[in-house]
Amino acid sequence: WSFAASGFPADAVFKAAPEQAVSSLGGMDISHLCNVIWAYARAGPRNESLFAVLADEARGRLHNMEPLHLANLAWSFANAQRADEFDLRRVGVRNEPLFVGLASAAARMPYDLQPQHTASMLWAFAVCAVVEGADSLADTVHLNMQRGPPQCEARHAA
């Protein structure tokens, strides 16, 4: 995570670490798992097989995740190895079973989602062109908004 956040060129670290990350999954808590996924999405080389293993692990833990974890996972898979989040030339890692699970998990906690969470998740579904689960996520967002006007910035409404 720290290499990805710092912007320090660490390609050698990211190329060498997948085996260690996979072998350590059992000892990682949810935040650690999300941080590893975020770091590879942000700075690591695109590694489809690693993302598949991480998606399976994340799906098995969705029932214990908080809204921030759900949003970060969606963002990470959508943003994997993109130049920036507005670069539409590359689609993120499209793992439909994970996205369906994210939508189901969000549906269990509609009133806990903040505008940033829903914006990140909706953006990720759109970028990865995931259709299955999108209606459920849209219904969750609609239910969330019925409780009153959300406290959000204009960027969340876009």
Average pLDDT value for residue range 109-118: 88
Centre a 10 Å sphere on the Cβ of residue 144 and count the other Cβ atoms it contains: 20
Tokens 């190329």: give the residue. 15
Average pLDDT value for residue range 100-124: 91
The pLDDT tens digits of the residues spanning 66-80 come to 999 999 999 998 887
Closest CA to 134 of 96, 108, 88: 96
How many angstroms separate the CA atoms of 22 and 115, rounded?
32
What is the model's pLDDT at position 53? 93
What is the model's pLDDT at position 57? 95
Average pLDDT value for residue range 141-152: 70
Closest CA to 94 of 142, 135, 36, 134: 134
Band of pLDDT at residue 148, cut at 50, 70 and 90: low
Average pLDDT value for residue range 89-115: 86
The pLDDT tens digits of the residues spanning 8-64 come to 556 677 777 888 889 999 999 999 999 888 888 877 667 788 889 999 999 999 999
Q: Give pTM, 2 decimals.
A: 0.80
DSSP H or E segment with residue 33: helix 30-42
